Structure 1
Amino acid sequence: MPDSSPEVLIIDDVRLSRTFLRHVLKQANYRVSEAENGAEGIALFKERSPSLVLVDGLMPEVDGFECCRTIRQLPGGEDIPILMVTSLEDTESVNKAFQAGASDYITKPIHPSVLLGRMRCMLKSLHAMQELRNSEEKYRSLVTSLQEVLFQLTPDGEIIFINPIWYDIMGYSPIETIGAQILNFIHPIEHKRNTAKIQLTSKNKDQCFRYTTRFITKQKEIRWVEVQICGNADPQTGELIRIAGRLYDITERALSEKYRRLEYTVNRILSHSEDIDLAIRRVLQVISGNSETPFAEYWSLDESSQELSSSTYWHLRNDAYNDFSGSSIKFYLKDWMQSVHDITSYIEEIRAEQAVAASKNKSSHPPFDRWRCVQQCVVSHGTQTLGLMVFWNDKKNKMDDTFSMVLEILGKQLGQYLKRKEAEQELKKKNDLLQRELNQAARYVESLLPQPEAQESQHCSVQIDTLFQPSNALGGDVFDYTWLDSDNLMFYVLDVAGHGVKPALLSVSILNILRRQGYSNIDFYEPEIVLTALNRLFQMSESGDDYFSMWYGIYNHSTRVLKYASAGHPQGLLIVADEDNEEHQIKELSTDNIAVGLFSDFPFEAASVEVPLDSHLFIYSDGVYEFFVDKHQEMFGLENWKDLILTYMQSKPATLKSLFQQINHLNYGSTLGDDCSIMEISFG
């Protein structure tokens, strides 16, 4: 693989996950370096300087979020693309990933084409950003030289010199400028701050001061400028004789940043608001604050009558505005669409009539008859019109074209929010029905699973206990066991990716194939052959579904040899009694195979172990340890699960039911998020 190919750093504490990701990335011609924990990943980042980082969110000690924050603070880490891998997709977890500095996130199960597509986009964006920065530096240097204004002031702020570019930017003639106070051209809000800067320059004559402020042009437009001023002192007396300075017009950049913050604020409002009216009111407020309009209203469209009416408004604190917004007017959408350019004039006329009527009762009211609609914004979703935002002022504010474009975008975002809330309400209505269907499906799956009393053991020295607890969302867990002959016991646990009826149906299909033992060319005595055959039969779909993890074992009663193979599944735990200290030891039984269905030609391997007397084997799904134990989303984890098994063994003759009760007690949520399956095999 050429050294010029991008290097990807994988940080994941799960060996099987790293094996899968390494396999995918190397097939795509990426160079790969790996770390099994956050601390090692940070050290490897410093050493290797990779092109992209793939980090798992949930890891012990230094988790993915802390690892991401640390990398962002390292040299070269500010712009590096970081793709967070997480099994969580709730809003809090996603926000936490982005707050930690992640560039993007991808949820498990990972589809190779989706992963590679996102990585290509992130690397392409990084290259484009680097090119853009280089281009911006050259462009900024040129523009700065063209927009630079040089000036000189007396110690009290009187302009005594200014170069001609000033007149092009500000519109003031030399006669209007020379001899005038510079504060005359600065926004009144900025006077106190600029006076302090001039006084600071007088006291510190050997220093220069740089800051941003606002000027007002002759056309009453606000211009953002970057100012640098330095004091010039008399060499003999040390007294300040003049202040020299220069300024750059940064209005376009300042407005872009202002509108970017506006878009961000509106997005935050819409992503965290459950109440629709409150969300619209807050959106009107922040837009009004940015456009300096004291009154704004939202006109909603009634789909059935196609009638627009003023439904929500925001205004400055003034009793007069309450009267202005108190009475509503209505008109039909078709009338608006036929005369869209005149609709705001029509609204203005109606509002002016209301204002005149109100002023007869309260003479202190502002002159609403002089108010004008300074900006309007259609709220839409695709081609569907949902409403109209209208912003009012008694001044003839000139709205720039950029703000109009931003407002159009915000109107579409508000439209998306309204349609999303409508869909959520519809989804809420269907949720109970769906949950009932999932409960029925869970009961069906449970009815197919073997019960302890359903199969009498052919050898009394082998005892089997099982437990199945479906989640509310219904996962894809199934398990089974049977004696293939008088000497060989076959048993397995599998977990289909995803939740819902589809994974459950797939798991039932696999169970039926294995239970009937009717599929040709499968030697059920050889675990690796079984996994290979299932891998060819069940391949992952284009949408990333239809694959599963599995632990499959064959125990020979005569030889006491257990042959097994795991495919992306949690390791089996063989609990062996220690004769010396009367404690139990754990042997982890796992093979380095990926999940079934990911790659059709993957070479599955098996392993074997001799089972001592009085041993206990536990095979299970990941739902028994992948749950939160507190509000900070601390995962229970595999290591704690092992400790729980050892505690359970010491409390024998306890049953799996009591073990599950402990799991349920430790779970922070009201229910488990995934199916919980456990099989315990006791070897006498």
Structure 2
Amino acid sequence: MLKLSKNLLALGLTKEVINANTSRESLLSQAAENKRLMPMEREKLHFSIVENLKEVIFQTDQAGQLTFLNSAWTEITGFSLDESLGKNFLEFIHPDDHLLHWKKFQSLIQSHQHECHHHLRCLTKNGSFGWLEVYACVISIEENTSIVIAGTLNDITRHKHREQHLRAQKSAISVLAESTSLKEAIPKVMQTICQSLEWVRGEFWSAAEQPKVLRCFESWQMPVFPVPEFEAVTRDITFVPGMGVPGQVWVSGETIWIADVTKDSSFCRAKIAAAVGLYGAFAIPIIAEDEMLGVMIFFSRRSQQPDTDLLQVMAVIGCQLGQFIKRKQAEEELQRQNLSLQFQLNQAAEYVRSLLPPPLTGALSIEQQFVPSLQLGGDIFDYYWLDSNNLVVYLLDVAGHGVRSALLSVSLLNLLRTQSLYNTDFYQPWTVLAELNRVFQINDNGNDYFTIWYGVYNQVNRQLVYAGAGHPPAILLSANPAAAPITKLSTENLPIGILSDSEFDDDSCEIPLGSTLYIFSDGAYEIPQPIDKNWELNAFVNFLADYQKSGNGSLEEILDHIQSMNNNKALDDDFSLLKINFA
């Protein structure tokens, strides 16, 4: 236990806590002068040094009653020495910190520790709470064997508040980074600010629902401090710009601090605030790109003096929240446009599907599968009898995706179905391709060209005349052992629309009885595979051949296999597949 004389106690503590404003040289000079002074003069010098310190020097008895304080106590807390001496130190400590302080001092008194160091909140005369850094030790007085506790109190309120402000800012940024919507983010931001700053309620006001009418859209309050009456009034009230605290901030774009809302004439909820115990408040604008997006108001259970540091931090949070709101508004608008576009694409896909021919039955049968991609490509196909013996069948694929590509494919179907092309012999595939190429040319943006496979089958002589323009070949699978098991039917022609003076050729072959012809678009085999590769044409052809040999051949099963390879039923491109069975 430290033993000091009563007259040297203050000076001994002073040497430990001398503030940076008193230089070491000055202190040594005072100590040297002290040796030449009489006892009475030395005591006066000690008292003068102690009184001029910025730190509080305190002393309590074993029961915690304050027995000594220097003038710094009044500067920090606002309480005079006469108001404080003789009272228990706990009376000036925040209730939530009573237990911490009591345990620390009991440890000293019971000699479990020689000294202690901790932070606690202290009550100030204006009703607010500050932060103190406490250093204390047990001492004994030579003339008295009783135990007393002495030490220093350093005002760290500003430092603690700065920590709170930075914690609030960091937490708010984290919330915004993790939130996926405004409805999720705003209450969480208010919650983290209230919890970091020890304020009890937050409100977000906006005119998003009705122009020039401010309404509270979201609020958050400490669960231990419910204010249902205040909440009910808040939800029912509205402000026009310029009216009330939200309206004033909305018009000025500046922060507002109200020390006590119950005494503020512009705060129309003052009466109910007093009834539920809300006093201090501040309001900040939420602005982004010079657009006022909202106002946030926070409330405290006690009167609060303006804190410029806090307002600066909150202004930064307000800007960050404003940027988040604008970003989410842009995302929501994009999502809305995407939903609208997807609706249009779905409608267009259903329209295209409605134009496709039904399956054909009889001695010559045709099965078909059409699955549009999410973005809707430009696939379309048709088959019909030109006369009682000749069947025309074609499948085309317009470049690109979306409604534009779909509309062009529908226009092409109508032209071919109604045989509206001039100077065209629809029994001769090359003339069809040549006239299509004359009418449809690629535009300046690289759109409006397409690939096509077009064929005419004569069921009397079993001859198929066909032509392709940049399109995947049709695959003929023969059941005749004397014939090639797999034959690719294609011609070396450019896609329609690439060159205006392109020439087109066609070809022909005899179809063995019992053969099967597959016609498809590239969406049937361009399926992404590991290591950035696609399932190639030859692999798809071999798959069709193996599938045919197995006795299967259902187009739905083929589609299921391709979707499983894609790991998703939604394909990147339209899937179009025709299967023609020749009896």
Q: Within the alignment, does 1:575 sit opposite 2:484 as a pair?
A: no
Q: Displacement, 1:452?
A: 2.0
Alpha-carbon separation, structure 1, partners of 2:410 and 2:347? 16
The structural deviation recorded for 1:350 is 3.9
Is 1:491 the counterpart of 2:491 in the alignment? no
Moved more, 607-616 or 658-667: 658-667
Query: Structure 1 residues 415, 656: closer, same or farther in 2, change over 3 A?
Result: closer
- Letter of the structure 1 residue corresponding to residue 286 of structure 2: C
1:678 partnered with 2:577: yes
Query: 1:387 maps to what in 2?
Result: 294
Q: CA deviation at 1:504?
A: 4.1
Which SS does the other structure have where 1:312 is aligned? Answer: strand
2:204 aligned partner: 298
TM-score by length of 2: 0.50
RMSD: 6.2
> Shift of residue 445 of structure 1?
0.8
Offset at residue 509 of structure 1 (A): 1.9
Give the alignment of 1:66-85 within 5 angstroms. Answer: none
1:493 deviates by: 0.3
Alignment of 1:177-256 (within 5 A): none
User: Shift in Å at residue 331 of structure 1?
Assistant: 1.7
Match of 1:319 among 199, 224, 228: 224
Residue deviations 1:569-618 (CA, integer Å, cap 9, x gap): 444323245849x9x95445566777545x45585776757567354321
Q: AA paired with 2:516?
A: H
Shift of residue 441, structure 1, vs aligned partner: 2.2
Would you say 1:341 and 2:252 are equivalent positions?
yes
Render the CA deviation track for 1:41-96: whole Å, top value 9, x for unaligned. xxxxxxxxxxxxxxxxxxxxxxxxxxxxxxxxxxxxxxxxxxxxxxxxxxxxxxxx
Partners of 2:199 and 2:489 in 1: CA distance = 69
Write the mapping of 1:167-186 to structure 2, written as runs, cut at 5 A.
Answer: none
TM-score by length of 1: 0.44
Distance 1:438 1:565 in 2: 26
* Aligned equivalents of 2:570, 2:229: Cα separation in 1: 51
Is the alpha carbon distance of 1:509 and 1:442 closer, same or farther for their aligned partners in structure 2, counting shifts above 3 Å? closer
Q: 1:516, 1:472 → 2: CA distance?
A: 27
Q: Distance between the aligned counterparts of 2:481 and 2:217, measured in 1?
A: 79
Q: Distance in 2 between matches of 1:338 and 1:389?
A: 9
Unaligned runs of 5+ in 1: 1-171, 180-187, 190-216, 225-254, 363-367
Following superposition, the deviation at residue 680 of structure 1 comes to: 2.5
Using the TM superposition, give the Cα deviation of residue 400 of structure 1 relative to its aligned residue in structure 2, in angstroms: 5.9
Structure 1 651/600 Cα, relative in aligned 2: closer, same or farther at 3 Å?
Answer: same
Q: State the structure with bigger RCO (CA 8 A, min sep 6), 1 or 2.
A: 2
2:239 partner letter = F
Task: Write the distance in 1 (CA, Å) between the matches of 2:430 and 2:273.
Answer: 86
Aligned to 1:616: 516
Cα 1:436–1:339, aligned 2, differ >3 Å: closer, same or farther?
A: closer
Measured in 2, the distance between the counterparts of 1:347 and 1:379 equals: 25
Matches within 5 A, 1:185-584: 266=176, 269=178, 272-273=180-181, 276-284=182-190, 296-301=202-207, 303-304=209-210, 306-314=212-220, 319-320=224-225, 326=231, 328=234, 330-333=238-241, 335=243, 336=247, 340-341=251-252, 344-345=255-256, 350=261, 369-373=279-283, 375-378=284-287, 386-390=293-297, 395-397=307-309, 407-408=318-319, 410-415=321-326, 417-418=328-329, 421=332, 438=348, 441-442=351-352, 444-446=354-356, 449=357, 452=360, 463-469=364-370, 471=372, 476-481=378-383, 490-497=392-399, 503-520=405-422, 522=424, 530-531=432-433, 533-539=435-441, 546-553=448-455, 563-567=466-470, 569-577=471-479, 579=481
2:282/2:299 contact within 8 Å kept: yes
2: distance between equivalents of 1:513 and 1:574? 27
CA distance in 2, matches of 1:596, 1:261: 59
Give the 3 Å change call, closer, same or farther, for CA 222–483 of structure 1 in structure 2.
same
1:650 maps to 549
Separation in 1, partners of 2:22, 2:505: 90
What SS does structure 1 have at the residue aligned with 2:325?
Answer: helix
Query: SS of 1:520's equivalent?
Result: coil
For 1:536 and 1:174, the matched residues in 2 are separated by 97
Residues 347 and 527 of structure 1: CA distance in aligned 2, closer, same or farther (over 3 Å): farther
SS in 2 for 1:333: coil
Residue 103 of structure 2 is matched in structure 1 by none
Shift of 1:565: 1.9
8 Å Cα contact 2:259/2:281 also seen in 1: yes
Structure 2: how far apart are the matches of 1:175 and 1:608?
105
State the AA in 1 paired with 2:549. Q
Q: 1:465: Cα distance to partner?
A: 1.1
For structure 2, which runs of at least 5 residues remain unmatched after alignment? Answer: 1-19, 28-117, 120-155
Shift of 1:310: 2.5
- 1:377, distance to aligned residue in structure 2 (A): 1.2
- 1:650-669, aligned counterparts within 5 Å? 650-652=549-551, 656=555
Report the count of equivalent residues.
Answer: 418
